[in-house]
């Protein structure tokens, strides 16, 4: 006896086939959506990287001109060569300080092994064995 409100057009086999076809169609659409989304995000990411690189180059030029301005300002009260020497020495001292800080930070970060996580995993393994 057929169930009221349900059409009998092929039985369980055809219903399973339709479900399978719909599932594969949904999967294809999801893959297409993912590809379109990744493409859009990739374009935005590339544009952002390009604009950021341009900003970095212009910022570097601006920084150079700022140091030239400092040297020119010092040159109003000192000899030009002395003003340039002071700015150069200041930049060298700043670069050396940043370099030493970078070396110390790199030494603290190497080797990049999660020591605490490994120790915790070892303790967990020991606890589970007991």
- Span 61-68, mean pLDDT? 96
Q: Is 98 left (phi over 0), alpha (psi -120 to 50) or beta?
A: alpha
CA triple 23-24-26, angle to 5 deg: 65
Nearest-CA neighbor of 53 among 41, 43, 45?
45
Q: Is the pLDDT of residue 84 over 70?
A: yes
Q: Name the average pLDDT for the chain.
A: 88
- What is the pLDDT, as a whole number, of residue 54? 96
pTM: predicted TM-score of the whole model, two decimal places: 0.56
**Tokens at 114, concatenated:** 């999660």
Other C-beta atoms closer than 10 Å to the C-beta of 87 total: 19
């Amino acid at each position: 006896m057929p169930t009221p409100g349900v059409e009998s057009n092929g039985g369980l086999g055809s219903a399973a086939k339709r479900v399978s076809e719909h599932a594969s169609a949904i999967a294809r659409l999801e893959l297409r959506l993912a590809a379109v989304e990744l493409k859009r995000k990739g374009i935005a990411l590339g544009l952002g990287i390009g604009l950021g690189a341009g900003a970095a180059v212009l910022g570097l030029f601006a920084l150079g001109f700022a140091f030239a301005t400092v040297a020119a300002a010092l040159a109003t009260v000192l000899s030009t060569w002395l003003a340039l020497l002071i700015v150069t020495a200041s930049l060298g001292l700043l670069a050396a300080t940043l370099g030493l800080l970078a070396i110390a930070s790199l030494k603290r970060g190497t080797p990049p092994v999660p020591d605490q996580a490994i120790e915790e995993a070892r303790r967990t393994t020991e606890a589970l064995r007991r």
